[in-house]
Structure 1
Amino acid sequence: MNVLSGYRVLDCSIAMSGPFAAQRLGDLGADVVKVEPVTGEWQRHTSAGGAQGNKVNVSFLSLNRNKRSLAINLKSPDGKAVLLDLVKTADVFLQNYRPGVAKRLGVDYESLSVINPKLIYVSISGYGESGPYVDRPGQDLILQGMSGAMLSAGRDGEPPTPSGQYLVDAVAAYTAFEGALAALLHRERTGEGQLVQVNMLDAITTLQMQELAVFMVGGKPQERSAEPHAHVYIRAPYGAFATSDGFIIVAFPSMKRFGEVIGEPAFLDMDDETDTWSRRDDIYAKTRARLVTKTSAEWLDLFRANDIWAGPVYGYADLVADPQIEHNQTLVEYDHPTEGRVKTPGFPIRFSKTPSEVYRGAPLAGEHTEAVLKEAGYSDERIAALAAEGAIGVGEAD
């Protein structure tokens, strides 16, 4: 028994933020029905990093486990009618259409809440449902640029520093996931469904709670330094430093202790709360000169022995082989019918009584259309007729 067993989610989203949020609900046991075009969702046909699967693209595979696929042609009246039938018994409806598209399709909250007043309707957009930017594309890197976060790291005068992850998409996904859970809790208490709106711009802005408070309340400008300091609002030394065989992270140590360990006399009399701000570049340069003299392992052993915060700089090969990752069972493995043995990040929350599990890999397009419609009361004859007219797509059986 999973924590969301018995709940049904209709996932009408594409790309990353919506599918990732829906996958989280599926990881907790919800029956997530991915509603996609008869030809399959866009992500099935677009690779990330050039990685192709056998029948399922790696990007799609990573964001759509624990779902069933229902292939529908929403431009067909009969296809749309099928979706509206399913809405009657759904708990959550999730979409990330551009603002206005859901209304044109007749699947906006106002329309669906008439059919099912208890429905939790989660809408994800780039900038909000209205306003001057409503028609702009909600793309991750564009939103990173708007967020201000790119200028919170790196050198003054050098290009902005993007995140190494699809950060805005991921934050929006988690925000939508939390919103769906909170709305379900409210419904359990009151019986009321509701509209839950999430936008990527607000998600990445509110993620920077501390940074923006330092700027707006504390009055501290966002000033990058000449050296590649890792964050404009954290004192030196703070960043990635080269060693004789790689890189390590050092995070704002006591300057006296740090100076003693690395053999830098200039640090011994520095004040941790004043000099580390006014002399950031000098501290970085001196630290860089010292750390390049030993290996990463040597420095990390010394720092751990002296209670100085430091750590390795990993690539993905290092990360997936890390013993803590293995201990935590962070990565999950399962067999997929077309992609073979699959290994991906799992669900990060541990429940003592209702653990998450991978019970289904990413579906093939329309793989579960027949099963979902039979559960909704459709006869074999009606399903065959809908498939023949192109209102639905019928793929491989369960």
Structure 2
Amino acid sequence: MGILSGYRVLDCSIAMSGPFAAQRLGDLGADVVKVEPVTGEWQRHVSAGRATGNKINVSFLSLNRNKRSLAVNLKSSGGKEVLLELVKTADVFLQNYRPGVAKRLGVDYETLSAINPRLIYISISGYGEDGPYVNYPGQDLILQGLSGAMLSTGRDGEAPTAAGQYLVDAITAYTAFEGALAALLHRERTGEGQQVQINMLDAITTLQMQELSVHTVGGKPQTRSAEPHAHVYIRAPYGAFATSDGYIIVAFPKLALFGEIIGETSFLSMQDEVDSWTRRDEIFAKTRERLKTKTSAEWLALLRAADIWCGPVYGYADLVDDPQIKHNGTFIEYDHPTEGRVKTPGFPIKFSKTPSQVERGAPLAGQHTRDVLAEAGFDKNRIEALVASGAVSEGSA
């Protein structure tokens, strides 16, 4: 049994940040009921990279394991009544509607906490529940741009550099996951439920705790260099460098030792905490030229022998076959009834007594509608009436 076994989560969220947070709770054993429209959640109908799958696309599959699906029409009186009854048995309610939508649907914190005062109500928004940006779209790349992070790498004068992942969505999901756990701990101690508000802008801003403190406390400007230095607040050389057959990472070595190994004599008289800042572009450019002369494996062997921080630059194909990744069991595999054998990243925290596990893959829309309602006390005739009226669905969208 998982560490959260016995807790029920109503996941009314869409896209990535909310579903990812709810999946984390499900990985730890919580009974996560994905409450979605009768036509299926939005993410079922779009997928990154056009990875469509058989009946469930890969984007939805990756963010919704360990959940059961209840397909319900919250705009109908019967559908809303179903959800409000389920709230009585829930421990966590999670939504990422645009601000104001939960109120219009009648599933805001005030309404639901009156039904269940012990409820932990997680609300995820783009910019906060109010304020000047409240109606702006909370989309990952937009938030990357607003956060300042895109000007911490790349060349001066060139376009801002975006992360190659949905970075803001992911860190928001982890923030919501942490908030849910902390609120549950508080409830265990006091019996009190509460509202937990998470917004994407604060999540990505606070992720940059060190960098922003260097700016606000240390007074250091965010200055990009002419070369593609990997971080504005780290001394040279620091970045990805081409070799004769690929790329490697080199991270702020002692210049004299590094110069000796790569054959760059100008580094031998340089001071690490002076020249590596004032001559950052020069050091980067000279490092780049020297590292082109050997293979990645040759350089890594030489640099590691000297205890210089370095490593390979992987693509995904290399990553999944890496020996440490395999040793850690980072990827998990399980059989899905419609998508076959699934290989995907697992849960990253290891508990000695209550390990995470995959009880089920991502559900079809409405796959568990009847089961969830029966467990909540709905009799067979009432369930049939709700299905017939369209208030709920047991479809397989």
Instruction: Report the TM range for the smaller structure's normalisation.
Output: over 0.9
Give the match for residue 362 of structure 1: 362
Q: Would the aligned equivalents of 2:38 and 2:395 in 1 still touch at CA under 8 Å?
A: no
Amino acid at match of 1:311: G
Give the match for residue 168 of structure 2: 168
Alignment of 1:1-398 (within 5 A): 1-395=1-395
Shift of 1:395: 3.5
Q: Would the aligned equivalents of 1:369 and 1:395 in 2 still touch at CA under 8 Å?
A: no
Shift of 1:379: 1.1
Runs of 4+ in structure 1 off by over 6 angstroms are none
Partners of 1:204 and 1:57 lie apart in 2 by 27
Tell me the SS of whatever aligns to 2:269.
coil
Q: Would the aligned equivalents of 1:368 and 1:395 in 2 still touch at CA under 8 Å?
A: no
What CA deviation, in whole Å up to 9, does each residue of 1:231-290 have, x standing for no partner?
000000000000000100000001111011111111111111111000000000110110
Partners of 1:288 and 1:42 lie apart in 2 by 45
Amino acid at match of 1:15: A
Partners of 2:181 and 2:55 lie apart in 1 by 32
Amino acid at match of 1:100: G
Q: Would the aligned equivalents of 1:14 and 1:41 in 2 still touch at CA under 8 Å?
A: yes
What CA deviation, in whole Å up to 9, does each residue of 1:140-186 have, x standing for no partner?
00000001010000100010000011000000000000000000000
Q: Would the aligned equivalents of 1:151 and 1:224 in 2 still touch at CA under 8 Å?
A: yes
What CA deviation, in whole Å up to 9, does each residue of 1:172-210 have, x standing for no partner?
000000000000000000000000000000000000000
Q: How big is the alpha-carbon RMSD for the aligned residues of Structure 1 and Structure 2?
A: 0.6
Partners of 2:334 and 2:163 lie apart in 1 by 29
What CA deviation, in whole Å up to 9, does each residue of 1:3-49 have, x standing for no partner?
00000000000000000000000000000000000010010011211
Partners of 2:214 and 2:175 lie apart in 1 by 23
Shift of 1:2: 1.0
Amino acid at match of 2:333: E
Tell me the SS of whatever aligns to 1:123.
strand
What CA deviation, in whole Å up to 9, does each residue of 1:88-117 have, x standing for no partner?
010000000000000000000000000000
Unaligned runs of 5+ in 1: none
Amino acid at match of 1:334: Y
Tell me the SS of whatever aligns to 2:18.
helix
Amino acid at match of 2:373: L
Amino acid at match of 1:244: S
**Identity, % of aligned pairs?**
81
Shift of 1:372: 0.4
Partners of 2:298 and 2:31 lie apart in 1 by 50
Amino acid at match of 2:9: V
Q: Would the aligned equivalents of 2:12 and 2:93 in 1 still touch at CA under 8 Å?
A: yes
Shift of 1:311: 0.4
Amino acid at match of 1:381: N
